[in-house]
Amino acid sequence: MNNGSNMKKVSAVVVTYNRIELLKENIESLLNQNTKSLNNIIIINNNSTDGTKEYLETINNKCVKIYHLNENIGGAGGFNYGIRKFIEETTDDFVWIMDDDTIPKLNALSELILASDKIGAFGYLASNVRWINGEFAKMNIPSIDSKNWLEKMDFDNAYPRIKKATFVSLLFSRSIIIKYGLPIKDFFIWGDDTEFTQRISINEPSYFVTKSVVIHKILKNEGSSIFEDSSDKSRLARYRYGFRNGYYTSKKNGKNALAIQWLYIAKTLIKLMFFKTTNRYFKIKMLFKGTVQGFFFNPVVEKLQENEGENDE
């Protein structure tokens, strides 16, 4: 991972929490990327309790920079912290962000770099996220205006414009981070990626890179749905963040977006009230709690200065 002077340099940021075996696989795939552009791997350990800290402390590679947090600040907080470290403690050109259960193909980064060369200026580039069986990962399909674009896609020559994407293999330039700030850490989980990518793509053309493939090793290939979720109450309670954060983002994006959010809330409420589901009343409580919190939720978008921390590398 040693770079030539003219090569674009990249920091990967990985946020991890209690998925040690997937994290091992993730780090191995990063270290084996078929490009020398990857200059730093920044691991944010969100106070894991499964031996992750002990494992990370065995890594002897100066390119792997490890930060152990004293509390779990959620995915949003973890990405906020990791991207901040990218700006403050490296001079790399791009940041490549992902969860610990993201396993990039060995050419995933080189295809993103190739796309950046071909496209020129961009807000962000999103990889082609697949599930373990090769199907599209349903949680990670980016928002594109064209109907049935997945079926029509020319996967050898395609960089379609996108409006939003998830934090599963996205590439941002240093200048874009400086201009638009960090993900909102107060989101904690859910919706931080939607808000952040929409914040950028509303002004900066952003693209889906079909040949940059990563595998998202989630347990089931399905989207997040409070209606279908059969988890216990402790996990279902997280959905209040989704409703709160979604309401904030739609409110910020104007009347049409807010109307769409209200329609989603109404449809979800009807399903929870009249169709068979587990923990019905608790789920309704989380919907109302999150939505009401969204009325008053007004988090700060943090911005950094370029001179906040160049180090000697």
Output the pLDDT for position 156: 57
Which residue stretches of the chain are H helix? 20-31, 52-56, 74-89, 108-119, 149-152, 174-180, 192-201, 233-236, 239-252, 255-274, 280-296
Domain ranges of the chain: 10-216, 233-296
DSSP count for the chain of H helices, then E strands: 11, 9
Output the pLDDT for position 151: 57
Domain 10-216's class?
Answer: alpha beta
Given a cut of 70, the residues of the chain with pLDDT beneath it are 1-6, 145-157, 307-313
Output the pLDDT for position 310: 46
Kindly report the backbone phi and psi dihedral angles of residue 128, in degrees, each rounded to the nearest multiple of 5, phi listed first.
-90, 100
Q: What is the H or E stretch that residue 279 is in? A: none
Residue pair 240/297 in contact (Cβ under 8 Å)? The answer is no
